[in-house]
Structure 1
Amino acid sequence: MSLKGRALAYLARREHSRLELRRKLAPHADSQEELDALLDLLEQENLLSNQRFAESVVNRRASRLGTSRIVSELKQHALDPQAVSDVAERLRGTEFERAQAVWQKKFGQPADSPQERARQMRFLAGRGFSQGVIRKVVRGADFDD
């Protein structure tokens, strides 16, 4: 399979960042120049887009993860820092609602002991939600019922 065919096959499955696609194609390329030329061509033809990749990550992960986890994942793909900060700003606006939905799905009822409350808070922290949001969700749950 040609290098371009392999790249198109990867991109047909899902969006990839330039860095990720480079890593996957590197073992199959004859030279770095050939790989760079192909990646440039794919970007010119709008088949490879870091912006679309970022949107794809947000769409896949936002319902389950907090802003810091999503931003961390985007940074690992060496995306433009301005694009990452724009995504983070947009996600912060919905973080409370997303955290509340994750908490509701996992626990559904307020903690009845400090140990259970700590467990719920650790769960949300592991998902990447901010401490302020976690406190509001877990403590706010006490007043919903």
Structure 2
Amino acid sequence: MRARAVAWLAQRDHSEAELRAKLQRAQQQERQQQQQLDEDGAARRADPALDVDPAQAIDDVFSWLRSRGYLDDRRFVASRIAARQSQRGLAKIRHELGRHGLSLADDDAALLRGSEFERALALWQRRFGVAATEPREAARQARFLAGRGFGGDTVRRVLRQAGSGDALAGEAPAHDGPEASRTGPGAGTDLPED
């Protein structure tokens, strides 16, 4: 079981709850395979791991992993934040950590909350880049951001800024009229030329 746990942790960090569930499933599969072999009349393998209390065996693996620094829930939380913050809002990150039986530290939550608008705006720019011209499209953009865990106030701010043309920093807003092709002084304005 140790080798299996280390192999999973080598692929990526796991929370204790996630790794425990994986080990329990693996342990149960091993027991079922052994029972099938026993029922088929095959000789029983001499595997001492199958004779140990399953819960105690997993607890022993966790003690061994922690003592060597292989399993660390704080490191798992940090890796989840780093992996998710550019694509997810605070609510979604909290929810994901909650599924792993973990919570977000207050200082991490404050940092994420402080950058929520900028992260949502960057995600909106990557995904859409163009302000919605119809209510249906605006609703679709809002659902996208809300579904990624960004709060209602943040979503409204992003869409409001996108609609004002400020979302694409450094780029001039697009014009659809005949002035769009004009260049020089007064281009893109409604002022008549002299």
For normalisation by structure 2, the TM-score amounts to 0.69
| Alpha-carbon displacement from aligned partner over 1:37-84 (angstroms, at most 9, x marks no partner) | 1112211221100011111111111111111011100011111x4x44
The 1:17/1:73 distance shift into structure 2, 3 A limit, reads same
CA contact (8 A) 1:71 1:84 kept: no
Q: Gaps (5+ residues) in structure 2?
A: 28-49, 167-172, 174-194
Match of 2:7 in 1: 9
Once the two structures are superposed, the pairs formed by residues 93-108 of structure 1 within 5 Å of their partners are 93-108=114-129
Fraction of identical pairs, as percent: 43
Deviant stretches of 4+, over 4 Å: none
Q: Name the structure, 1 or 2, with higher relative contact order (CA <8 Å, separation 6+).
A: 1
- Equivalent residues of 1:17, 1:77 under 8 A apart: yes
> Residues of 2 paired with 1:98 and 1:74: CA distance?
19
Deviates more, 1:10-19 or 1:87-96: 87-96
After superposition, the CA RMSD in angstroms is 1.4
Asked whether 1:127 is paired with 2:158, we answer no
Aligned pair count reads: 141
Distance 1:134 1:99 in 2: 7
After the TM superposition, which of the residue ranges 57-66 and 13-22 deviates more from structure 2?
Answer: 57-66
8 Å CA contact 1:74–1:84 kept in 2: the answer is no
User: Who wins on radius of gyration, i.e. which is larger?
Assistant: 2
Q: How far apart, in 2, do the equivalents of 1:74 and 1:126 lie?
A: 16
Q: Normalising by the residue count of structure 1, what TM-score does the alignment of the two structures yield?
A: 0.91
2:116 matched to 1:118? no
Q: Which residue of structure 2 lines up, in the alignment, with residue 88 of structure 1?
A: 109
Q: Which runs of 5+ in 1 are unaligned?
A: none
